């Protein structure tokens, strides 16, 4: 339930989330890890809906990292199956809610079937404007920067515009950088997520495991975000005198 404080909290324009703790959630209940991921989809659904309702413009979810291939093969294939089933099941609702979908990451590593489902979801929702849902799959921040640098080399960019040119080659080109980063599951690290884009992002870590992360937890993160003073290198006094 949304609290009074939460309804007054400013929402981030772009929220990025590392959904961690599915495996531990399942293990603590003597369930297979894949059950944790299945429950994680429920949390993702609730968070996507709440973000759209609260006016978040871009929500980026880290669903599968470049390093997640190192997991046992059975878990990787269960995750792939889950992605495709969830996508097929949810796409109608997401489209009806005005959500635009975008996938970032080296998607050519996935099966043709999964790649086709991702492209289909992007095409079907491309004219939607309520919120952009970015799902990072086989994504790594270093991969992103490296491929942007390769792109820049090919373009032979003028010296003074290197920073802009690099940003325009990133997988998130055209989207604002995240204002708020949330990581559930107790770890306090970025794990190779959006390394360039998180330069000035407010970081929020919670011990809550992703399957237990509900709308009340999301609102709590927004309240905490609302208390932060974003200075972008300026002094606190300079920021206060601008409001």
Active site residues: 20, 68
User: Interface with ligand FPP by CB under 6 A: which range of 18-26, 171-179, 198-206, 220-228?
Assistant: 18-26
Distances (CA, A) of 206 to 105, 137, 216: 26, 23, 13
134 lines the binding site for ligand FPP (CB under 6 A):
no
Question: Is residue 192 a contact partner of residue 140, using CB atoms and an 8 Å limit?
Answer: yes
Closer to ligand FPP at the Cβ: 83 or 193?
A: 83
Question: Could you give the string, one character per residue 67-86, with x where binding to ligand FPP holds by CB under 6 A and - elsewhere?
Answer: -x--------------x--x
Choosing from 12, 40, 105, 169, the residue that interacts with ligand FPP (CB under 6 A) is 40
Exposure pattern of 163-173 as b/e (b: 16+ CB <10 Å)? eebbbebbbbe
Q: From CA 206, how far away is CA 188, in angstroms rounded?
A: 9
Contact status: 105 vs ligand FPP (CB under 6 A): no
71 is in an annotated binding site: yes
Copy the structure tokens of residue 196.
């360039």
Q: Is 191 annotated as a binding-site member? A: yes
| 37 touches ligand FPP by CB under 6 A | yes
- Contact window for ligand FPP (CB under 6 A) among 22-30, 141-149, 154-162, 172-180: 22-30
Name residues contacting ligand FPP, limited to 177-206 (CB under 6 A). 185
- Single out the segment in contact with ligand FPP by CB under 6 A; choices: 52-60, 61-69, 168-176, 224-232: 61-69
How long is the chain?
243
Asked whether 24 and 209 are in contact (CB, 8 A), the reply is yes
Other beta carbons less than 10 A from residue 187's beta carbon: 13
CA 102/CA 128 separation, integer angstroms: 11
Binding site for ligand FPP (CB under 6 A): 19-24, 37, 40-41, 44, 61, 63, 68, 83, 86, 135, 185, 210
């Amino acid at each position: 339930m949304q609290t009074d404080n939460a309804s007054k909290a400013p929402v981030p324009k772009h929220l990025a989330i590392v959904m961690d703790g599915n495996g531990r959630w399942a293990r603590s209940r003597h369930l297979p890890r894949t059950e944790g991921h299945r429950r994680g989809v429920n949390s993702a659904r609730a968070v996507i809906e709440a973000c759209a309702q609260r006016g978040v413009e871009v929500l980026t979810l880290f669903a599968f990292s470049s390093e997640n291939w190192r997991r046992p093969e059975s878990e990787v294939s269960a995750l792939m199956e889950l992605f495709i089933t969830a996508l097929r099941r949810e796409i109608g609702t997401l489209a009806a809610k005005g959500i635009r979908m975008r996938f970032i990451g080296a998607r050519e590593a996935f099966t043709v079937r999964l790649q086709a489902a991702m492209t289909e979801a992007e095409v079907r929702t491309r004219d939607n404007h309520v919120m952009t849902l970015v799902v990072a799959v086989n994504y790594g921040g270093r991969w992103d920067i490296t491929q942007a640098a390769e792109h820049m080399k090919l373009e032979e960019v003028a010296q003074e515009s290197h920073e802009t040119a690099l940003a325009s080659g990133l997988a998130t080109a055209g989207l604002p950088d995240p204002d708020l980063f949330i990581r559930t599951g107790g770890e306090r690290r970025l794990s190779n997520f959006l390394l360039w884009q998180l330069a000035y992002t407010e970081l929020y870590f919670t011990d809550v495991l992703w399957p237990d992360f509900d709308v009340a937890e999301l609102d709590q993160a927004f309240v905490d975000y609302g208390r932060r003073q974003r200075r972008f290198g300026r002094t606190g006094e300079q920021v206060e005198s601008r409001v």
